[in-house]
Amino acid sequence: MRKINLLFAIFLTSAQCFAQIPAIGGYNEPLPKVVTPGNVSESKGMQAPSDAISLFGGTDLSQWTGNNGDPEWIIHDGMVMVKSGSGDITTKKEFEDFQLHIEFMHPADITGEGQMRGNSGVYLQGLYEIQVLETYNNNNKTYVNGQTGAIYTQHAPLVNPLRKPGEWNTYDIIFMAPTFNADGSYKTNPRVTILLNDVLIQNNAIIYGETVKNTVAEKLRGPIRLQDHGCTVNYRNIWIREL
């Protein structure tokens, strides 16, 4: 009898495990939502897909605010250029989990070195900086967790696929927002996956806190912020998909 009971218990446990495995085979519903991808051209880059929010399409900064009201950055030729000394620009809308696309270019006649050579940054939720810096071919020497593709001061990029000054680069960023315990500590850390010029440079990387203060800010949603670091950097085709 004891042997039978043991076998029955094993059978029940096995049945419960198999019950948790999804059925294998084809199914017909629900169909995935149809999304029309954006057009791609050498001169205009990657346009926003049909389900994205366009944050900058080349003509205005109506989705953004500056430190003292309207942004003062310079719009020209379908792009927007950092105006040194005018301050960061920040989206009016806040986001939780998202896919962000943004293109940037350093000027062909760039000058400076180290952290003053084409420095800017893309801040996720206004807190977590993805560095923008002119580090083509590793010629600009700086700390590796402060070069383009780095989660600033936390993770160096896996590789450096940056294009030379005067050419456009693309960031495609998948961000998963943090969750919090009752005491404000992280229950799950924010995570980010980044492709630079279609090359994986951050693979589901853990973000440990604000990249400047290294502290935990209890925020479920936050804006996108672009940094004025006193250097000339151009941006275009900024769009976001909420996940």
- Quick one: pLDDT at residue 217? 83
Residue pLDDT, tens place only, 55-78: 999 999 999 999 889 999 999 999
- In whole angstroms, what is the distance from residue 44 CA to residue 32 CA? 29
Q: Identify the three-state secondary structure at position 5.
A: helix
Is pLDDT larger for residue 117 or for residue 1? Answer: 117
Reported as a single tens digit per residue, the pLDDT across 208-226 is 999 988 788 888 999 999 9
Whole-number Å distance between alpha carbons of 225 and 218: 18
Q: Which residue has the tokens 């630079």?
A: 196
Provide the pLDDT confidence category of residue 13 given band limits of 50, 70 and 90. low
pLDDT tens digits, 44-60: 788 888 899 999 999 99
pTM (whole model) above 0.75: yes
Q: Are 45 and 101 a contacting pair, CB within 8 Å?
A: no
Lowest mean per-residue pLDDT among 32-46, 93-107, 112-126, 172-186: 32-46
**Each residue's pLDDT tens digit, 154-205:** 999 999 999 999 999 999 999 999 999 999 999 999 999 999 999 999 999 9
Instruction: Give the alpha-carbon dihedral of 167, 238, 116, 67, to 10 degrees.
Output: 150
- Written as one string, the DSSP assignment of 121-167 is EEEETTTEEEEE---GGG-S---GGGSTT-BTTTB--SS--PPPTTS
In the CATH hierarchy, which fold is given to the domain comprising 28-242? Jelly Rolls (2.60.120)
